[in-house]
Amino acid sequence: MIVCAGDIEQFSFAHPVGIGLINSAINLTRLALLDKPEFLIFAGTAGSYGEYRPFDIVESRASSNIEICFFEDRCYTPIDNVITSDGINVSHETIVNSSNYITTDSTVGKFFNKHNIGIENMEFFSVMSVGKEFDIPCGGIFVVTNYCGPDAHKEFKRNHRKAMRLLNEYIYEKYPGLKGMSEKDNS
């Protein structure tokens, strides 16, 4: 099953699960309870902490939920903050950080890159968490729309349309059987 956030990030071959950590977790859990998929692939956009450039395509099967205070020793968490999934091969491995907030401070990228966390996407940690809970192999395919910095939102808006087209083309090339599928046909 291929899933996406929805709203302005929808694909004909993907089930929208909602924007952010909470909505995506609730809606994806509902989907998994009704008809557990054999695998989950999340398709969406991401911001770069500096290693990747806009319009790069990044595949991953690892996600984190880390706030900058963690790297500054100003907070801690009793839960696992990095999840990795087996069973889905990807062409390049980088960790995708998820938060309900978009990073606008370009200086924090160095902390994330040091730990092989290259991009951020709001939903991927939820997708990985649901996959882990239901023992479903997971992966993600992302297109970078912007750098994480003060102009993140402007860059995102400027690059979004082209990025979505590139991601759509990439996925159709990787999974040629998806052409012509509707959301109901994809599982």
Instruction: Tell me, yes or no, whether 132 lies in a domain.
Output: yes
Distance CA 38, CA 146 (A): 32
Number of domains into which the chain is organized: 1
Q: How crowded is residue 29: how many other Cβ atoms within 10 Å of its Cβ?
A: 16
Residue 44: strand pairing partners = 142
Instruction: Tell me, yes or no, whether 55 lies in a domain.
Output: yes
pLDDT tens digits for 9-41? 999 999 999 999 999 999 999 999 999 999 999
Instruction: Tell me, yes or no, whether 186 lies in a domain.
Output: no
CATH number for the domain spanning 79: value is 3.40.50.1580
Q: What is the pTM of this model?
A: 0.90
Task: Specify burial of residue 168 (Cβ count, 10 A radius: 0-12, 13-18, 19+).
Answer: middle
DSSP 17-29: --SHHHHHHHHHH
Instruction: Tell me, yes or no, whether 176 lies in a domain.
Output: yes
Instruction: Tell me, yes or no, whether 187 lies in a domain.
Output: no
pLDDT in tens, the chain (187 residues): 999 999 999 999 999 999 999 999 999 999 999 999 999 999 999 999 999 999 999 999 999 999 888 888 888 888 888 998 886 665 557 999 999 999 999 999 999 999 899 999 999 999 999 999 999 999 999 999 999 999 999 999 999 999 999 999 999 999 988 876 543 344 3
Instruction: Tell me, yes or no, whether 71 lies in a domain.
Output: yes
Q: Which domain holds residue 83?
A: 2-181
Cα–Cα distances in Å, from 165 out to 44, 45, 75, 114? 11, 11, 39, 31
Instruction: Tell me, yes or no, whether 80 lies in a domain.
Output: yes
pLDDT tens digits for 155-168? 999 999 999 999 99
